[in-house]
Amino acid sequence: MHLLGILLTVMSLAPATPASYDEPRGPLSGRVVTIDPGHQLGNRNFPRRVNALVPDGRGGRKACNTTGTATDGGYPEATFTWQTARALRARLERLGATVRMTRQVNSDHRWGPCVDARGRAGNRADADVFVSIHADGNLAPGARGFHVAYVPGRGDLGLARVTRDALSRRVPVSTYIGGGTGLSARTDLATLNFSRVPTVLVELGNMRDRQDAHRMTTPGGRSAYAAALAAAVRRYLTS
């Protein structure tokens, strides 16, 4: 066989070189989001540490953390925030974001971190957005729905409004805070005060209200909260 024929035969038998493609990039690729699941399940077991005073971010001091609230059926706020935060993290990672959490477990044997450390977590991660997840424990009759807390005059109002709008498409707005706006300007929350990145603290509902409690204790309800928060982060970072 001629040399050219041999070369052509060898080339025809060689496996094709796969085409080179760029890795798919989600709309939040390159973005960093810090999620703060409020409280810790074991806070109640470490009262001295949880009640120790830490800076509040405005010249005073306050308790390191609290035990959080619970539904009338005993479902803890710490567990709700943890499960919702994990659902949110999964959604954001599918969109391409890098997600940092202020705590890595939900355990009866752990406590903290303190509110000042939580507030600084987004700064340390050089985050684009910081979302702190909580639930309320208001005992007033008819008190239900979410509200979004932010520090006024610091540039967080835009994120607060986007978050409010996304949540209001899926869950009820607070009947007892914010006058129906779903927004609450706060200067007393250390987690917000210590953050230097766009930050909101969301009280996703009132755990002492039967309707809100049902939503919080079901996977579908927590998925609705996570979907709304993911939509808010996406809109804020891509608009």
> Which entry of 23, 77, 93, 203 is annotated as an active-site residue?
203
DSSP one-letter code for 24: P
The total of other beta-carbon atoms located within 10 Å of residue 153's CB is: 9
| Nearest-angstrom CA–CA distance, 183 and 135 | 15
Q: Note the residue count of the chain.
A: 239
Nearest CA among 133, 132, 120, 106 for reference residue 43: 106
In angstroms, the CA 206 to CA 40 distance is 18
* DSSP assignment of 36-73: EE-S-GGGGG-HHHHHSEEE-SSS-EEES-----B-TT
d(CA 49, CA 47): 6
Instruction: Assess whether the previous peptide bond of 37 is cis (omega < 30° from 0).
Output: no
Residue 45 burial (CB < 10 Å; 0-12/13-18/19+)? middle
Assign 17 to helix, strand or coil: coil
203 is catalytic: yes
Active site residues: 203
